Amino acid sequence: MCGRFALYSAAERLEGQFRLPLPFPIAPRYNIAPSQPVLAIRTVRETGTREWTHFQWGLVPAWAQDPKIGHRLINARAETLAEKPAFRNALRYRRCIIPADGFYEWRKQGNRKQPYFIRHRDGKLLALAGLWEYWQGADGSELQTCTIITTDANALIRPLHDRMPAILPDDAYERWLEPTVQRADTQQWLSLLRPAPDDALIAYPVSPRVNDPTYDDPQLIEPSE
């Protein structure tokens, strides 16, 4: 699963890797938690162009009666996206990329859980595969929300958890974000949602302060002793 992540790179790095100018300022964040806003890239269906935007983390399907369902839909399993009512339309029409410098996972050690920070070995940004939705309540309230897709863990992550976020390789950005048209065969997108190569990432223990989402500072990603 993916329940916390960090995005602290400067705008220039984001613009360079994803080849899309940022139209608004961003602040470094080291402890992004569910229900908080997350930065993402999506394709505008009407024009076929890409744009940066923010989504609330925790997907609320358009048909949902209660937006609280989003608390349970922060992640979506790649294997069942095409079958689950909450995700199958978003897979066809509303895919997004959620950039991250790294994500957190926890390993049980005795009576406690030790958090680990996982990032790219070469310091590159991670392109997390996501889905987004638009929801409107009976009172006229509106939400745009997202979920992070997960896949089987690779050899590095497996000792920590059996799932990991689906990280898109550089050459998959175009295909994942292609203009959204209905496709009966969704395999073209599902085939991109594979575990990262075993040697692509590194993981190291960090402070348990990350357990509290009110903490948000660079010390959270520093290796702990």
2 classed as catalytic: yes
Rg (CA), the chain: 17
Q: How far apart are CA 38 and CA 32, in angstroms?
A: 8
Q: Which of 51, 79, 96, 105 is catalytic?
A: 105
- Count of H-run helices and E-run strands, the chain: 4, 12
DSSP SS3 for 131: strand
Question: How long, in residues, is the chain?
Answer: 225
- Three-state secondary-structure class, residue 83: coil
Beta-bridge mates of residue 76: 149
Q: Could you tell me the two tokens for 132? A: 């987004």
Q: Active-site residue 178, yes or no? A: no
Q: Exposure of 115 by Cβ count < 10 A (0-12 exposed, 13-18 middle, 19+ buried)?
A: buried
Q: Which of 2, 96, 133, 146 is catalytic?
A: 2
Judge contact between 220 and 207, C-beta under 8 A. yes
CA distance 210 to 30: 9
Q: Could you tell me if 145 and 133 are in contact, meaning their C-beta atoms sit under 8 angstroms apart? A: yes
Among candidate residues 42, 72, 52, 48, the one with its CA nearest the CA of residue 60 = 72
The DSSP letter of residue 21 is -
Residues tagged active-site: 2, 105
